[in-house]
Amino acid sequence: MGRPVVGIISNSHLLNDQYPAHAGGRMNSAAVSEVAGCIPLIIPSDPRLVSVSELMEVCAGFLLTGGRPNVHPEEYGEPWTEAHGAADRCRDGITLPLVRECIGRGQPIMGVCRGFQEVNVAMGGTLYPEIRDLPGRMNHRMPPDGTLEEKFALRHCVRFTRGGPFHQLLGAEEVMTNTLHGQGIKRPGKRIVIDGWAEDGTPEALYVEDAPGFALSVQWHPEYNAANDPVSHPLFEAFGAAVRAWAAGTVGQRISA
């Protein structure tokens, strides 16, 4: 049996500021291939081009990536303001129903950054438009200057629930992570369990309660240096094991409290 396929959710992009494209970061593909042990496949995130049912037949699991555009606030019942920033309704139209279908079937998904927020919204949760504007919160956004290594540097601690899924998987109650996001969870959705928090109380890790398969998501970017980082590596390894189990005809690895 060959390697199973993981669909990597793409982002709308303009090449040379004029040519429309669907793009995915190389580090996402590398993490899926080299650490999870699966075939990375970039998904055009547009319901006019692909359907959720088609994607679920082609892919054994899905990586919901980060991206500059945000989930449109209408998806969680709030009006748009300038603070919400740019949105991508086409990506919303694919990822939100995809999350719900995967959770229902037990098909493995892992959300990263925007993907973390998409899982919450798909399950009925809401988001803050700008974390750094909240009292007592730090600035979680990407540093505007510096090298790629400096932008993805470890910047804050994440504390997990003792005995929870992330504590069990990573073997530590506290880890250091990067942080490159503006928005964050306001109200957790139905069955969304927050299992990790930054030092300022911002939710950083979640799982879906009683999901029959792998359904973990993180607010940071574990795809960066996934082959070597002691936090990222076990996350992608566990995700890959769940995808292979699904492809082999069994329900993916379940990790819950």
pLDDT per residue over 68-81, tens digit each?
899 999 999 999 99
How far is it, in rounded angstroms, from Cα 40 to Cα 59? 10
80's tokens:
């748009």
In which band, very low, low, confident or very high, does the pLDDT at 121 lie, cut at 50, 70 and 90?
A: very high
pLDDT digits (tens, 9 = 90+) for 216-250: 999 999 999 999 999 999 999 999 999 999 999 87
Q: Which CB contacts under 8 angstroms, 24+ apart, belong to 231-238?
A: 231/170, 231/175, 231/176, 231/177, 232/31, 232/35, 233/35, 234/169, 234/170, 234/171, 235/110, 235/169, 235/170, 236/31, 236/32, 236/35, 236/36, 236/110, 237/35, 237/36, 238/169, 238/214
How does the average pLDDT of the chain come out, rounded?
94
Class of domain 5-132+183-196+203-247: alpha beta
pLDDT of 257 over the 70 cut: no
Q: Which of 103, 97, 83, 81 is nearest to 182 (CA)?
A: 83
Residue range 182-195: mean pLDDT, rounded: 97
Residue range 78-98: mean pLDDT, rounded: 94
pLDDT digits (tens, 9 = 90+) for 143-187: 888 898 998 989 999 999 999 999 999 999 999 999 999 999 999
Residue type, 150: E
Local structure of 195: helix, strand or coil: strand
Could you tell me where the DSSP H helices lie in the chain?
Answer: 26-30, 52-58, 89-105, 114-122, 148-151, 165-170, 232-247
> Domain residues of the chain, as ranges?
5-132+183-196+203-247
Q: Which residues contact 17 (CB under 8 A, 6 or more apart)?
A: none
pLDDT of 108 over the 90 cut: yes
Nearest-5° angle of CA 156, CA 161, CA 166? Answer: 75
Q: Which of 106, 63, 113 is nearest to 214 (CA)?
A: 106
pLDDT digits (tens, 9 = 90+) for 22-67: 989 999 999 999 999 999 999 999 999 999 999 999 999 999 999 9
- Per the model's pLDDT, the better-predicted residue between 21 and 94 turns out to be 94
